[in-house]
Structure 1
Amino acid sequence: MSEAASPPIRDAATVLLVRRDGNEPAVLMGQRGAGAAFMPSKYVFPGGAVDAADASVPFASELAPGCLARIADFAAPGLGPALAAGAIRELWEETGLILGAPGAWPGPVPEGWRDFAATGHLPAAAALSFVFRAITPPGRPRRFDARFFLADAAAIAGDPDDFARASDELSHLHWVPLGAARRLNLPFITEVVLGEVAAHLKGAPVEDGVPFFDNSGSVPAFRRLV
């Protein structure tokens, strides 16, 4: 596929949910279907494209100002909250887990959020920490400008092992110890993000900025969002 014929780049959000109640930290992952158009059979974190309705979702708590500032680098106004909402919605849809706090929605609930709202929760973005950004290279059937958010499983409302309300988009949902996660069938960028998260969980500072793999053009670039 030529660069001219490459599909449009869509904003996307992904959640790295980390559980720390075992011998070592574990991340929540699932496997995409063998027939999926994007990353078939790969183990990934919950996530997906941002929907238009995500921009107007009310929150029980907002993203931290530092996260918003880093996202704002070359971003459309208001994209930060939409990304946070998209991350929480995708986590709910693909795993059935609620990153939210009890609360009533102040007005009509967008169609894509009705099942979430029916649980009696508002999305809680304060638990999310922006840790990585990557744009899918040209030549792929789908391209995303993906922001990766880290969140502690302690922020989940309910049982973190209860996937009964998950969709069928991801199979084999389970908590994977960090040491074992990199031995799964992973996309390249997922391996890179896992390495960054492992360092972050060991106390590596984030003052140097959020890593950004920029494949928006024909020449890939790496920089940090400060």
Structure 2
Amino acid sequence: MTLDKSAIRNAATVIVLRNRFEDPHVLMGQRGSTAAFMPNKFVFPGGAVDPDDAVIPLASPVPEVCRARLAEDADSSLIHAMSAAAIRELWEETGLVLGRPGDWTGDVPGDWKTFAATGHVPAAHPLQFVFRAITPPGRPRRFDARFFLVDADEVASDLDDFSAACDELSHLQWIALPKVREFDLPFITEVVLAEVAARAHDREPPKSVPFFRNNEEESLFLRLGGVGPMTGRKHG
């Protein structure tokens, strides 16, 4: 099947925050110079949802308030797949495990075999939904990306061991929040980082989530779960 490059694909991005109360750092890596989407930019780990993500067993779901925000202006059946995609992308691109010790039953889909081999089942309860953005028209790839904040204390593996990572991101490193803007960042990453900085000392998931929605007619900055004129709502 040929991928429609103009289609907007659902995607999950993971922002891992380390030492959030003493000296907050975020995990980022650099995309390759030949990448079709955001070449050379420093980004958070993440990527498109795969079909198998919808059937992956989860040891725990995302927090209820996050489920409510994820369901706004979206198909609620995507919540499970989006959660699994975030965990898979974090594993593939950094080698970090977000899960609980446990054994898998039945056949394990190809993209999940190496994760299952670590002896963990993916756990989504540490995922805090903090931002949503749709790539503007005219870009070589377009994504409807949900950004999830994760406290590094929830990671089940060595935070400094990236040996299991694929080669999609290079120069993986923990970057101090005040230093991040010294790197070559996409615009939307800078916007998300401002939200992360504001939430660095708050362990609870947000009750409202910024939504940067771009379509062919207009660009809107909304809030999912907000109140007043900036509230994100379904549009027919």
User: For the superposition of Structure 1 and Structure 2, which TM-score range results when normalised by the shorter chain?
Assistant: over 0.9
RMSD, aligned α-carbons: 1.7
Does the residue aligned with 1:119 lie in a helix, a strand or coil? coil
Q: Is the 8 A contact 2:210 2:223 kept in 1?
A: yes
Give the stretch that moved more between structures: 11-20 or 211-220: 211-220
In the superposition, the TM-score normalised over structure 2's length comes to 0.90
Matched residue, 2:53: 54
Q: Is the 8 A contact 1:51 1:86 kept in 2?
A: yes
Cα distance between partner residues in 1 of 2:15 and 2:110: 25
Q: Which runs of 5+ in 2 are unaligned?
A: 226-236
In the superposition, the TM-score normalised over structure 1's length comes to 0.94
Deviation at 1:22, TM superposition (A): 8.4
Deviation at 1:206, TM superposition (A): 3.1
Matched residue, 1:88: 87
1:43 and 2:42 aligned:
yes
Cα distance between partner residues in 2 of 1:22 and 1:168: 31
Matched residue, 2:234: none
Number of residue pairs matched?
221
What percent of counterpart residues are identical? Answer: 60
1:64-116 alpha-carbon deviations (Å, 9 max, x no partner):
11111111012223211111100000000000110011111132111111110
Q: Is the 8 A contact 1:6 1:139 kept in 2?
A: no
Q: Is the 8 A contact 1:213 1:220 kept in 2?
A: yes
Q: Is the 8 A contact 2:20 2:200 kept in 1?
A: no
Does the residue aligned with 2:34 lie in a helix, a strand or coil? coil
Does the residue aligned with 1:127 lie in a helix, a strand or coil? coil
Does the residue aligned with 1:154 lie in a helix, a strand or coil? helix
Cα distance between partner residues in 2 of 1:37 and 1:205: 33
Relative to structure 1, is the Cα distance of residues 182 and 141 closer, same or farther in structure 2, using a 3 angstrom cutoff?
Answer: same
1:177 and 2:181 aligned:
no
Matched residue, 1:112: 111
Matched residue, 1:148: 147
Q: Is the 8 A contact 2:6 2:142 kept in 1?
A: yes
> Where in structure 2 are the equivalents of 1:119-158 lying within 5 Å?
119-158=118-157
Cα distance between partner residues in 1 of 2:23 and 2:50: 35
Does the residue aligned with 1:125 lie in a helix, a strand or coil? coil
Q: Which runs of 5+ in 1 are unaligned?
A: none
